[in-house]
Chains A and B, each alone.
Chain A
Amino acid sequence: MTALIQIRELSKTYRRGNQPVPVLLGIDLEIAEGDYVSLMGPSGSGKSTLLNLIAGIDKPSSGTLLIGGIDIAALGENELAAWRAANVGFVFQFYNLMPVLNAFENVELPLLLTNLSKAERREHVEVALAMVGLADRMDHHPNELSGGQQQRVAIARALITDPTLIVADEPTGDLDRTSADDVLNLLDRLNGELGKTIVMVTHDPKCAARARRRVHLEKGVLLADADAEH
């Protein structure tokens, strides 16, 4: 069986003025469908950069990046946007909810890019919010919710279009222990019950322990998997 994500010789170099800043130096990585991978490493090692490439919001400098067999680096701007809308759910460290929209509207947002009717959208949103335990907070705005609640709204938004892949960049980085546990429990369920492939960036070992597989980055280079599951 071929892996959902196939990465070969992937490099990324940023430019700061005329100065090239190499961040990823030839990454090779495969992630199977349904896997739950944590990307670990010190700050500045390139974790977010790698995650952004996988999520299709940044372009590699060289190498190949196939997701579900699609070379996403070759897609045009609009094709890539459509691909993301259909295939990727995003969870950010600072939630990134729209402050002017309530919880319901925030979760509904990605569905505006689909052909679903208003009634169908409502149904989907209600199910997703119930799943993250916020059915009673639908008309609350982000500033009326705690950090943990906001992140759960964000998770509902990430799963609303039923994407294959969920990417999470330090999803518990801004949360207290209890809220972090809630979020991690939710990610467990997304992976275990719904079969979502999850790639999560974290530098917290406790957090990483929840994943099925841990991958270490060090100065743009991938170290061997931390454990022998694979």
Chain B
Amino acid sequence: MLAGYVLRLAGKNMLRHRLRTGLTLAGIAIAIVSFGLLRTVVDSWYAGAELGAAGRLVTRNAASLSFSLPVTYAERIRRAPGVRAVTWASWFGGIYIDEKHFFSQLAVDASSYLNLYPEYLLSPEQSAAFQHDRRGAVVGRKLAAKYGFKIGDTVPLQGTLFPGNWSFVVRGIYRGADDKTDENQFLVHWDYVNETIKNTLPAQAERVGAFIVDIREPTQAAAVSAAIDSSFRNSLAETRTETQKAFQLGFIALVDTILLAIQTVAYVVVLIIMAVMANTMAMAARERTREYATLKALGFRDGFVAMLILGESLSLSLAGGALGILLTYPAANAFHSATRDLFLIFQVQPLTVLLQLAAALLIGVSAALAPMLSSRRVQIVDGLRAVT
């Protein structure tokens, strides 16, 4: 019964100085919103990094990267919920001149691969030329510059994984859409390689190294990955699907420092409002010294008065916290649209809300501590003599 009474009194006390209560509530709410937004910035940055530029997934053999998968899996992957398109690629692993001239080559599905990599900018003519020539190749600009490859050049490669002497004709040279795009790729027709090895290496025919999966909703990456992998559970070759990390290592180190700074600011904001709130509660409790002394004279215990202070502090901080949490969602949406290019997804995570709640709780409890202790120390007769 007394607990309910404490809360009612706390509520009434809050309404006593409407302006002060309003400002305190606003302060706490703003701090909680800032905390939530800053944390969401950090979360979203990492989430975006996980997803890569286009939110692609890679499905490979669960046993090992060096094991392949049947090309027939493509159809089943395409049917998984949330999948927009599928393509595939195999390591070709050919040697150009000698082993010092190393660059990687991929045998890709020519009709679909470039659709999934819109950041590889290729003119429509070159793209069509590549499609029409089974021995054609598309080369990244940097790689082409390094070896002096030009359109129409023939590039001889000595097969390792796929035996034989191969030669490909450069039909296209692509540019990257931005700095982060890899311009060192060498793409050839998987169809051509597959046809050829049906005789020389029948065990590897109709198999691919990995499927690349484009999904509709980047935020659903985890769910789609799970759906794909579960559809191949107990198959001859089980799959493992992961997000493609199109994130450059050197970049992470710099960003990490910035993100650490943002995290720190988030916590500092909470610390500041803790101090402000502690001051507010100390003022409120000091004003009520005589009331508290009167309650004690009437026979209420020290603990009751302490609970009054804690109840008032918590009511204030939790109300402000709740307001802040509610406002975090529209604030996050506004922030996301204002920074459209920066974040692929910008979503307030459940953990962030939990931390916001914990921060509000901490603000309330810490603000109540000092007034609670001093209210215990004040003698009734001294409290009654206090002027208000």
Contact = CB atoms under 8 A, between A and B. Distances in A.
Interface of A: 49, 52, 55, 57-58, 77-78, 81-86, 90, 92, 96, 98-101, 109-110, 112-113, 157
Contact of B16 (A77, A83, A99): A99
A96 B385 CA distance: 11
B298 A84 contact: yes
A157 B298 CA distance: 9
A100 B13 contact: yes
A83 B299 CA distance: 8
Interface string B2-18: 10010001001101100
A126 to B, nearest CB: 19
Contact of A81 (B9, B13, B290, B300): B300
Contacts of B302: 77
Contacts of A112: 1-2, 5
18 contacts: A52-B380, A57-B296, A58-B381, A77-B301, A81-B296, A81-B299, A81-B301, A84-B299, A85-B298, A85-B300, A90-B297, A90-B298, A96-B290, A99-B16, A100-B13, A112-B5, A113-B298, A113-B300
Contacts of B12: 100-101
Nearest to B299: A85
Given A52-B381, A112-B1, A57 B9 contact: no
A55 B297 contact: yes
Interface string B310-332: 00000000000000000000000
B196 interface: no
Contacts of A86: 299
Given A98-B291, A112-B1, A57 B381 contact: yes
B1 A96 contact: no
B298 A109 contact: yes
Contacts of B294: 90, 92, 96, 98
Contacts of A82: 299
Contacts, number: 61
B292 to A, nearest CB: 10
A77 B302 CA distance: 9
Complex A-B, nearest 3 residue pairs according to Cβ-Cβ distance, in ascending order: A85-B299, A100-B12, A96-B294
A113 B301 CA distance: 10
A49 B300 CA distance: 21
Contacts of A157: 298
B20 to A, nearest CB: 14
B205 interface: no
A78 B299 CA distance: 8
Nearest to B13: A100
B112 interface: no
A166 B234 CA distance: 86
Nearest to A89: B298
Nearest to B11: A100
Nearest to A87: B299
A213 B342 CA distance: 86
B379 interface: yes
Given A58-B381, A78-B301, A113-B299, 11 more contacts: A52-B380, A58-B380, A81-B299, A84-B299, A85-B298, A92-B384, A96-B291, A96-B294, A100-B12, A100-B15, A100-B16
Contacts of A99: 16, 291
A91 to B, nearest CB: 11
A193 B291 CA distance: 31
Contact of A84 (B1, B2, B15, B297): B297
A130 to B, nearest CB: 21
A4 B147 CA distance: 113
Nearest to A141: B12
A140 B379 CA distance: 30
Contacts of A84: 297-299
Interface in B285-310: 290-291, 294-302
A85 B299 CA distance: 4
Contacts of A83: 299
A113 B13 CA distance: 21
Interface in B207-222: none
B366 to A, nearest CB: 24
Contacts of A100: 9, 12-13, 15-16
Contact of A110 (B16, B290, B299): B299
Interface string B190-229: 0000000000000000000000000000000000000000
Contact of A57 (B2, B290, B297): B297
